[in-house]
Amino acid sequence: MATLRRAAGWRAVVIAITLLAVVVRVLIIANSHGGSNLAIYTYFSRLALHGANPFNPPAGGAINPIYSNSPPLEVAAFTALLAVHDSPTTLRMLFVLADAAVLLLVGLCFPRPRRWRLAFMLFYAFNPFVLLAWTVFAQDKTLLFFGIAVLLLSLERGREWTAWLALTALAAFKFLGAFAAPALALHSFRKRGWWMLAPLTAFVVMLCLSNLPWFPKSLDAFSRRNELLAINPPNHVSPTILLARLGIYAPIEAKVLPAAATIVVLWLFFERRIDIREAVVWSLFAGYVFLPDDDFDRLLLITLPFLLLLDLSIGRWVVVWVVSSIAALAGAVATRGVPHELSAIAGTLHTLFAREGTVRSVLWMNLLPVLVLTYYFVDRRRGRAVGRADTPSRD
């Protein structure tokens, strides 16, 4: 009976945090207008809503056609939502629901001690960097992170078909899952032999079918993304800005480095130096970190999965909170200017954080990924388990 009461009490805590996180996000939505990506989602989905082909947009339209590079499945989903209520807020509420789903998934389903789940939930629910990157700027990354969380949970619980389903959704919705497909295929082969051809074939078939809406113009999304890889010099807060400043960056690196890094990850997994969860997280990291137009919403997307693997002490969580809060202030200053409440020290903040595209801004915005990766490597060096699937949940 006492166990049931404790379980009910924990569920109440999880639901309370989730509801409060939703309230915070709704308040942010009511007092902000989103960023350029929200305008892109809305513009091209509205083209589809009104009968035009979103992958054949007018040359003189409100947004450059090169940004019509989202997968057709995402465009179709957003178009369907706008058909219900034609407003950018509709899409933003979808992103909030994805955040709520992440919190419920972590709080109720992840095989971790409650202290771990509570710490992660509080960070994801209320951290200013998460709120700035994904709620203030209204990013679809909340949907992607939910898919990543489902994928990692499925792998920990040994549910291969669910893992393949999550990976397929990530690939069809944002091309993201393709980077981790080789590692998951090898994992399935080790466990089931040539049976792995069944989910792998389903993955490929579904990925092909997801491009049928607006075909064949929908295939232009690939060529447009390829064009963006040619950006030189890199912009926003991409780590490749540092390579450019050193004079060793060329656009070909945006194609070669992700492929090379993915091969290295696959080799490490083949040699059993890392487990499948680490292989998936590193594959996703390799697919994004070398892009020349990385903004901090992407950096956050490839950093948070590592936190799902780490068991941080209270002291480490405090450092993560401090560093990410500083990054949030740096991001706000670089993109929106100094908040009115800090106008008295506006000059100092502008000097300290600088604008996007500068070395200083890159260093500040990449501080959180560097910190989390440092914790990851330190724990591996010490032989500490990194979120092992066979670690029992201690309540």
Give pLDDT tens digits for 24-40: 999 999 999 999 999 99
Q: Let me know if residue 29 belongs to a domain.
A: yes
Q: How far is CA 23 from CA 99, 127, 336, 363, in A?
A: 12, 14, 23, 32
The pLDDT score that the predictor gives to residue 346 is 74
Q: Let me know if residue 259 belongs to a domain.
A: no
User: Into how many domains does the chain fold?
Assistant: 1
Q: Let me know if residue 193 belongs to a domain.
A: no
The pLDDT score that the predictor gives to residue 268 is 97
The pLDDT score that the predictor gives to residue 148 is 98
Q: Let me know if residue 23 belongs to a domain.
A: yes
Closest alpha carbon to 17 in 143, 109, 128, 102? 102
For residue 47, give its domain range. Answer: 1-157
Q: Let me know if residue 63 belongs to a domain.
A: yes
Query: Are residues 358 and 237 in contact, defined by beta-carbon separation less than 8 angstroms?
Result: no
Q: Let me know if residue 85 belongs to a domain.
A: yes
The pLDDT score that the predictor gives to residue 19 is 98
Average pLDDT per 10 consecutive residues for the chain, totaling 395 residues: 72 97 98 95 97 93 94 97 97 98 97 95 98 97 98 95 96 90 96 92 95 94 93 94 95 95 97 96 96 95 97 96 96 84 79 86 95 95 63 38
Q: Which amino acid is at 98?
A: A
Q: Tell me the three state secondary structure of residue 43.
A: helix
Q: Let me know if residue 382 belongs to a domain.
A: no
Q: Let me know if residue 308 belongs to a domain.
A: no
**Helix or strand (DSSP H, E) at 102:** helix 88-109
The pLDDT score that the predictor gives to residue 390 is 40
The pLDDT score that the predictor gives to residue 335 is 87
- Number of Cβ within a 10 Å radius of residue 8: 10
Closest alpha carbon to 69 in 95, 92, 43? 43
The pLDDT score that the predictor gives to residue 388 is 57
Those residues whose C-beta lies under 8 Å from the C-beta of residue 31, and which sit 6 or more positions away, are none
- Quote the CA–CA distance of 205 and 327 in Å, as a whole number: 41
